[in-house]
Structure 1
Amino acid sequence: MKKKLQLLSAILLISSIAYTQASTTLTIDEAIKIAVEKNFDVEIERNAQQIGAINNNWGTAGLLPTISATSTIGIASNNLEQRLSNGTTIKRNGALLRNLNAGFAVSWRVFDGMRMFATKRRLEELEKIGELSFRSQVNTTVFNVIAAYYQIVQLNQQKKALQATIKFFEERKQIAESRFTIGTAPKTDFLQAEVDLNQQKGNLLTIENSIRIAKADFNNLLARKPETVFEVLDVIEPDAGLTFAGLVTKSESDNYDLLLAQSNLSVLVQQKREIIAQRLPSVTLNGNFNLSQSRNDAGFTLFNRNLGPSGNIGIAVPIFQGGNIKRQEQVADINIKNQQVIIDRLKNQVYTNLLNAYSNFQNALNLVKLEKSTLSLIEENNMISTERFRKLAITSLELRQVQIDYINGQTRYINSLYMAKLAEAEMKLLAGDLNKL
């Protein structure tokens, strides 16, 4: 009965461990979702986007009227002495004078050369820029998450490959040690085998440390505590169905650097319209409703009250402003011209980067096929060479070279997979397609 309980406890413990491991496995889609929601840079851009939306209104553009209310209450104490023409003398100490002034004022600029409409369009473009900046940051963050995630996958695969390789080195060491013990091989073979084994163990420690660092950096991307424990799916599958023509078409319409540059051009155009509007007259409607009241304990006027509306139309006609408007127009024209050059430069740069990324992607895919084929040959050669070494058909030095080739082949294959995935992500980044995952 006791043994059954122990067995049941062991099964439950193993199940618990397996469940814990499964629950901490993070897929790339889950990681992207967390990053989009919590990444610090994304959050900053999200807040900046809200500022643009808040500022985009007719009040900021200057179309709406301004209404203000004012009120003042005053009191004064005076010593009064008056001598009238009829000989009467009035003397009063501590006479109080009470004043009350209150009113509403309305000012509405109804025409400013259409400047307010140009300003509103500029604010709309600025809001659009905020939205594009946010989406661009999401796009960049997703790329960084993909690169970091598959770097961990790459390191994990290298770790597994190295662990398998260490077993071959251990077997070689055991054979060399046995031969040295019975006197059929020199001690140098055994020592070299042990040195090579320790070197690979050192490489394993280095990779394990690199994994820890990569995971901490990855957690930072997800705005999590760096010590958060998780595992990744150790699979790298590049999307071989991507076409260069499709990516180019998408980049022309969705690349965020281009979209931002085009929106900045629109802002400059609206700014020029605002400048031109300063040449035209402006019309302002002003209205007031005022109350003025005073009470005096002494003097000719003991009580006075004025109550009623007033209004006027103000017209301002710019005649000469020292040539400032013309200068501002000239500067605006140059800024627009420069921005168009920037857009052309960006188009060329995006196309160049996309071409290079696609070339790297195709090269990496070819390397994956080649290295996979080469690796199968290397694995077979390693098995044959190990068996021949057991039978004294080859030297320890020859087996060492075969094992080094095995390590290098594994590394090249894993790296080619990672480079293919990285080039794929870079192409989608340039095409503005990553934030749609």
Structure 2
Amino acid sequence: SLYTNRLAAGVGLNWILFDGFRVKFTKSQLETLEDLSSGLLAVQVMSTIEDIIQVYYGVLLQQEQLEVLETVMQLSEDRYQYEMKKKSLGGSVTYNVLQAKNVYLTDKTNFMNQEMLVRNTTRNLNFMMGIEPSQTWEFSEAFEADTSEFILADLLSKMTADNQTLKNQYTSLLLKENETALQRSAYYPSISVGAGMDYGNTRSYSGGAQTFNSETVLPYGNVRLSFDIYSAGVRKRGVEIARINEDVAKVEIDQMEHALTNELFNLFDYHTVRLELLNVANENLEAAELNLSISEDKYRSGVINSFNYRDIQLIYLNVSFQRLQAIHNLISSKASLTQITGGFLSYTSE
């Protein structure tokens, strides 16, 4: 009988020396994607910071309003006690006592409702910070607004340079530019080198005896140049689509810059007006406090009646609330200006 055994094996190595800069553009693409992811995360961080600031100063606002209501309630209680003493001495009637009592109980109700609002806003703050709802705080910071003025030109410059949303849009444009370059790389040839070794072994047997034995070891090396001559327009369409996406990204940047500039002008105008409104509110409160102090003496001396005194109390209450709201509005507008100019991110980086 005659039979033959053959064994063949080989190992090869291929190394691409040049592939039309695809490695370079792909690496740049991945790095840009990483930057974009960081930028998107930064936007979320800034938004969360602004939300926490708004809720925090909302708590301070509610606490300040609670103190005002407590002051008014104390005045109503003093008036009620005063009418009770007058009645016991025969200087007042039941009607006046009941009227003072109703006013006092109304103010006490408002005070208790405000206490509930303080607790609710505090729980909202805990929720924003991921803290247990039962956590309580003692807020020692004074509820005051920074009355420093801004320069519009400086804000515009800072917004253009540091606004994170706008920076993300520029990063997105860079991605589109890298994609265009990546599509163009398909027009370049590729160069590669190869090396390897083939091994072969052949043995023949006849009648149980080996009649032939051959063993070969063949090393090899080569250089390969390949170029895609025709791709049915695939490369051309790929480049055209990438260019269109790049142009769209540029238009989106222009639109975003226009929208942000318009928003900045509005925020700057709000902040300027709110500065003036706070000054007006401060003057109004000074007058209301003086009027309240004078009216208390006039009420006890009988110059004004209980209705006049109550009207003056309500004026003081409304004016105090208006001033507190003016402070909160100014703080809010500054926070919005800080966010649109990228200020929160600078604070966290420091």
Q: TM-score range by the shorter chain?
A: 0.7 to 0.9
Q: 1:374 aligns with which of 272, 275, 284?
A: 284
RMSD of aligned alpha carbons = 3.1
Whether 1:235 and 2:119 are equivalent positions in the alignment is: no
Q: Which residue of 2 aligns with 1:218?
A: 125
Q: Which amino acid aligns with 1:107?
A: N
Structure 1 residues 348-357 or 139-148, which shifts more? 139-148
Whether contact under 8 Å (2:176, 2:242) holds in the other structure is yes
Whether contact under 8 Å (1:142, 1:435) holds in the other structure is no
TM-fit CA distance, 1:116: 2.2
In 1, the alpha carbon distance for the partners of 2:55 and 2:177 equals 41
Q: Which amino acid aligns with 1:131?
A: S
Q: Which residue of 1 aligns with 2:250?
A: 340
SS for the counterpart of 1:229 is coil
Q: Which residue of 2 aligns with 1:144?
A: 51
Q: Which residue of 2 aligns with 1:123?
A: 30
For 1:320-378, what per-residue CA distance to the aligned partner results, in whole angstroms no more than 9, with x for missing partners? Answer: 32322222222222211221111111111111111111111112211111111111111
TM-fit CA distance, 1:254: 0.7
Distance change >3 Å, CA 186–CA 270, structure 1 → 2: same
TM-fit CA distance, 1:168: 1.0
Whether 1:248 and 2:144 are equivalent positions in the alignment is: no
SS for the counterpart of 1:107 is strand
TM-fit CA distance, 1:300: 5.6
Q: Which residue of 1 aligns with 2:337?
A: 427
Q: Which residue of 2 aligns with 1:173?
A: 80
Whether contact under 8 Å (1:275, 1:329) holds in the other structure is yes
Matched positions, count: 342
Map of 1:292-303 to 2, 5 A cutoff?
none
TM-fit CA distance, 1:132: 2.7
In 1, the alpha carbon distance for the partners of 2:215 and 2:287 equals 108
Whether 1:275 and 2:183 are equivalent positions in the alignment is: yes
Distance change >3 Å, CA 164–CA 289, structure 1 → 2: farther
Q: Which amino acid aligns with 2:42?
A: R
SS for the counterpart of 2:187 is coil
Q: 2:305 aligns with which of 395, 410, 415?
A: 395
Whether 1:355 and 2:262 are equivalent positions in the alignment is: no
In 2, the alpha carbon distance for the partners of 1:295 and 1:179 equals 132
Q: Identity percentage over the alignment?
A: 23
In 2, the alpha carbon distance for the partners of 1:299 and 1:231 equals 101
Whether 1:383 and 2:272 are equivalent positions in the alignment is: no
Q: 1:154 aligns with which of 58, 61, 74?
A: 61
Distance change >3 Å, CA 285–CA 203, structure 1 → 2: farther
Whether contact under 8 Å (1:150, 1:236) holds in the other structure is no
Distance change >3 Å, CA 280–CA 300, structure 1 → 2: farther
Q: Which residue of 2 aligns with 1:319?
A: 229
Whether 1:199 and 2:106 are equivalent positions in the alignment is: yes
Whether contact under 8 Å (2:189, 2:226) holds in the other structure is yes
Q: 1:417 aligns with which of 322, 327, 330?
A: 327
TM-fit CA distance, 1:225: 3.1
Q: Which amino acid aligns with 1:288?
A: G
TM-fit CA distance, 1:273: 0.9
Distance change >3 Å, CA 281–CA 386, structure 1 → 2: same
In 2, the alpha carbon distance for the partners of 1:198 and 1:183 equals 22
For 1:249-304, what per-residue CA distance to the aligned partner results, in whole angstroms no more than 9, with x for missing partners? Answer: 11111111111111111110110111111122222333335667799997869987
SS for the counterpart of 2:179 is helix
SS for the counterpart of 1:252 is helix
TM-fit CA distance, 1:306: 5.8
TM-fit CA distance, 1:235: 3.1
Distance change >3 Å, CA 299–CA 383, structure 1 → 2: farther
Which ranges in structure 2 are unaligned for 5 or more consecutive residues? none
In 2, the alpha carbon distance for the partners of 1:322 and 1:174 equals 97
Q: Which amino acid aligns with 1:156?
A: Q
Q: Which amino acid aligns with 1:220?
A: F
Whether contact under 8 Å (1:288, 1:309) holds in the other structure is yes
Whether 1:330 and 2:240 are equivalent positions in the alignment is: yes
Which ranges in structure 1 are unaligned for 5 or more consecutive residues? 1-82, 85-89, 91-96
Distance change >3 Å, CA 313–CA 257, structure 1 → 2: same
Q: Which residue of 2 aligns with 1:41?
A: none
Q: 2:19 aligns with which of 112, 118, 127?
A: 112
Whether contact under 8 Å (1:153, 1:236) holds in the other structure is no
